[in-house]
């Protein structure tokens, strides 16, 4: 009897996992916003790769606090509420260094 109920539970979990996989794929597709790749004019293009803090380097756990984390207070203080960049250099104090020294 116990074996049978365990089998039912295992089957239910399997079905749940498959359903979850399918649903997750659909939802992810809804959030995608692919543009076609655009060629850059020479010297006028850049590519930015955004970090992902969930599985790097060895499995950083997901924390709800990440979602509620406050942005850099200095940055916020230096900007009007809906203006994100300014010309006066108040947000231009980024550490700027080439990642690889020129040969």
Partner 1 sequence: MLAQRIRRGLALATRHRARLIFSGGVPAGKAVTEAGQMLKHARECHAEELDALRHSPLLEERSASTHENAVRTLALLRQAYPKTRDLHVVTNQFHQLRACATFRRAVNHSLSPPLRIWCAAMPPSRPQSRPSPERRAAPCDRSAAQPVDALELSWVLVREVLALGKYWAVGWI
Toward partner 1, which CB reaches closer, 4 or 38?
A: 38
C-beta of residue 44 within 8 angstroms of C-beta of residue 57: no
At residue 93, what are phi and psi to the nearest 5 degrees?
-95, 30
Residues that bind partner 1 (CB under 8 A): 14, 17-18, 20-21, 23-25, 27-29, 31-57, 60, 62-67, 69, 71-72, 75, 81-87, 91-92, 94-102
- DSSP code at position 84: -
Closest contact distance (angstroms) between CB of 9 and partner 1 is: 15
Closest contact distance (angstroms) between CB of 63 and partner 1 is: 6
Q: How far apart are the first and last CA of the chain?
A: 72
Closest contact distance (angstroms) between CB of 1 and partner 1 is: 27
The whole-angstrom separation of Cα 91 and Cα 77 is 10
Toward partner 1, which CB reaches closer, 3 or 89?
A: 89
């Amino acid at each position: 009897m116990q074996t049978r109920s365990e089998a039912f539970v295992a089957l239910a979990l399997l079905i749940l996992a498959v359903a979850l996989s399918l649903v997750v794929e659909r939802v992810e597709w809804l959030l995608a916003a692919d543009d076609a790749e655009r060629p850059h004019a020479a010297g006028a293009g850049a590519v930015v790769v955004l970090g992902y803090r969930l599985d790097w380097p060895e499995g950083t756990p997901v924390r709800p606090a990440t979602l509620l984390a406050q942005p850099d207070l200095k940055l916020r203080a230096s900007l009007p509420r809906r203006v994100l960049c300014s010309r006066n250099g108040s947000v231009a104090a980024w550490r700027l260094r080439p990642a690889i020294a020129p040969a």
